[in-house]
Each structure stands twice: as structure tokens, then as C-alpha cells.
Copies of this chain bind each other. A is one copy, B any other.
Amino acid sequence: MLRVIGFGPGGYEYMTIEAKKALEASDLIVGYTVYTDLIREYFQEKEYYTTPMKQETERCRYALTQAREGREVAVVCSGDSGVYGMASLLCELAGDEPGTTLKFIAGVTAACSGGAVLGAPLSHDFAVISLSDLLTPMELIRQRVALCAQADMVLCIYNPSSRKRKDYLKEACDIILQYQSPDTVCGYVKQIGREGEEAVICTLRELRETQVDMFTTVYIGSSRTKKIGNWMVTPRGYRYASV
């Protein structure tokens, strides 16, 4: 059996009880090296198969082959395995050779774990967009950012930057500034739930001038998002509806 497991931001306590049990029930744990390193200390008596980035297909094929041979295999992802994770690729590869049982085990995705650090940025409609153009044409990303800003939805941005894409967040901010005020409340969280966690709340104008790394999740508020104390909050509207 092949279990596809999202284990949340990384710490033991951020995984679900279901994920913990599924990892305990697995013999072989397969994943991207950076992610398996986050959980290795909690599941020591296991065989690990890890590969670096850009070897996703090879890694997933290996996991499927091992599962077909009758092993209990876990493919792990940080966050939720269905959000920019391995779940879709595994469905595609398994679809070629039916007969492997796949079970998907949901986890807390960065939008939610980072949101909890900032307060409540996602309490109304929101969009999740990755700025990585490794697998998506940049023009489509730009279009999506523009339309979501026009829709006045909160934007949660994954993969806001990397060594080769230093200016992508700035470019996204410039697009959003065509529709939203420079004073729009924004926030970002580095290393969610990990050592070095850091959360910042700022304005869209300030965010534009900020250099973040690839382990950062960025939140761009809607016109209704507010800073309350040290929290970034997008009100749902309960307050005035039910008093």
C-alpha cells in the first residue's frame, strides 16, 4: 500500500494523528531530502529513500514500484500532499498501471499554519498561488495574480522567491498595486513551525521592497484586511451581523 502523507510544517506536533499512525505503519519513507530530514528523528527505525528537487518523477516511480511489490510505503510532503505536493503526480503515474492502492492523508498546508502565526488572514475568501515558474508559464501566474487582486480576495503566495527569481514578489506586488491600495495589510512568515520562525506584518508598499526566501509564505490582504494589535485579520463579518 502507498500512503501519500502531508505532515504539516515540520514539527512532530503539527502532524495529524492519522499521519503519525500512517508513518508508523510504513516500512519505507520516500521524499525530498529537505522534508524527510524534518521527520527522520521521530521515525528512526524506517528505511528512507530520498532524492533532491527536480527528481520528483523518479522518486514517485520508485515508491510505486516498492508498493506494488507489497511493501508499506509512505511518500511524504511538508504541508498537505495535495497542495503543490506529490499527490497529483502519483495519481498520474499510478493511473498508467492500475492496481496500486493509494491513500491520501491530508495535512495542514502552509496557508493555514502560517495563517495561525499571523492571526487570521484567511478568514474570508482567498486564493493560493505559487510564483514558481518552473512548471507554470509566468504569463499565467501574472494573469492569476491580477484577477485575484481585482476580485479583492486575500492572496496567499507559495514559493515567492528563489535564487533565480529574486524579483518575482516585487513584480506580483506591482500587479496588485494596480487594483489595491499601497496601504493594504500584508504579512509573511518564514520557517513556519520550524527553528527561526519569524512573522512580519507590513503594508503592500513595504512588502514590495522586501526580499523573502523560498521558505517564506506571503499573505496579501484584501481591502478589508486589518492589523489588530500584532495580528493580521480579515474579518468574516460576524461582528456586526450578530451583535
A242 at the interface (CB under 8 A from B): yes
Quick check: A120 and B16 within 8 Å, CB to CB?
no
- A234-B128 Cα distance, complex, nearest whole Å: 14
Q: Contacts of A49 on B, CB cut-off 8 Å?
A: none
Closest B residue to A108 using CB positions: B106
What is the interface of chain A mostly: helix, strand, loop, or mixed?
mixed
Q: Contacts of A129 on B, CB cut-off 8 Å?
A: 125, 153
**A16, A57, A141, A243 interface centre (most CB from chain B within 10 Å):** A16
A85 at the interface (CB under 8 A from B): yes
Residues of A1-57 contacting chain B, CB below 8 A: 6, 8, 12-18, 20-21, 54-57
Choose, from A65-73, A130-138, A164-172, A207-215, the stretch at the interface: A130-138
Quick check: A144 and B121 within 8 Å, CB to CB?
no
- A107-B56 Cα distance, complex, nearest whole Å: 27
Q: Contacts of A6 on B, CB cut-off 8 Å?
A: 112
